[in-house]
Amino acid sequence: MTSPRVGVANSSAMASTRKPEAAGHPQMQGIEASARMLTSVERDGEVDRVAVEEPLEIRAEGAPVAVTMRTPGDDGELALGFLFGEGLIDGPRHADLDAELSANVIEVGGPLARRPPDRRFYVTSSCGVCGKGALEEVAVQAPPLAPGPRVARELLADLPERLAQPAFERSGGLHATGLFDDAGALLTAREDVGRHNAMDKVIGRALLDRRVPLSELLLCVSGRLAFELVQKAALAGCPILVGVGAPTSLAIELARDRGMTLCGFARGGRVNVYAGPERVG
């Protein structure tokens, strides 16, 4: 069997040639990407910058799989992260935007790890794919997490301050996810109108950089911790997930079931640990 081509074509990511972002400047890359992510509108006689929200159809081996409402930018990474979370791919794949960007269609090459479902997913910007058997579904796809690093509570509390959010700073309308090493250095940051999309983009980038599983790394999100974010982090093998906001009951249950360290209300130098306290120093 020939190995799949790897990378993301066109301006969405240029992943086939780009080096891992650990050696780059993720904040500057985010500022450059924000050109497609924001648009100008007039209100009260003034001009505001607001987040762009558009549909993206994700196709795998020529078949439509999902339509997601997202903020344009890093679309190839989004598609790869989404398909990985659905168990349809197990590593990096080549992804091409349609020749006409206005078509908002991205094609992901094979091989696929399993046959896509007959029904298409529709994913809104407010929540991910829901109603899939919750804990049982994740338990089948993701083994218990690796021991991972032990991290100081003060560092976990400080992660949101280290999370680059240039488009949010200009619009106030996007969520962000950041991938960090165990010393708190930011490796990758992505923004999107959908919090699950931002995480899919980060995981897609990690697939291309061959970092998955994220067994020695940390994820931080800019908002609350809902089930689908814990699900995606668990499937990517990340042992520690931190959020600025509150976790939900199902998020806590899933984190405890998978052996994940889950931290919420990371702000003002403090953080609450809801699961996996053994990794917090």
Catalytic residues: 127
Token pair in block for residue 161: 């301050």
Q: In a 3-state reduction of DSSP, which class is residue 276?
A: coil
Enclosing H/E stretch for 28:
helix 26-37
* DSSP string over 38-102: EEEEEETTEEEEEE--EEEEEEETTEEEEEEEE-SSSHHHHHHHHHHHTTS-SS--EEEE-SSGG
Whole-angstrom Cα distance, residue 221 to residue 167?
A: 15
Whole-angstrom Cα distance, residue 105 to residue 55?
A: 9
Whole-angstrom Cα distance, residue 271 to residue 265?
A: 5
DSSP letter, residue 259: T
DSSP letter, residue 18: P
Whole-angstrom Cα distance, residue 103 to residue 14?
A: 19
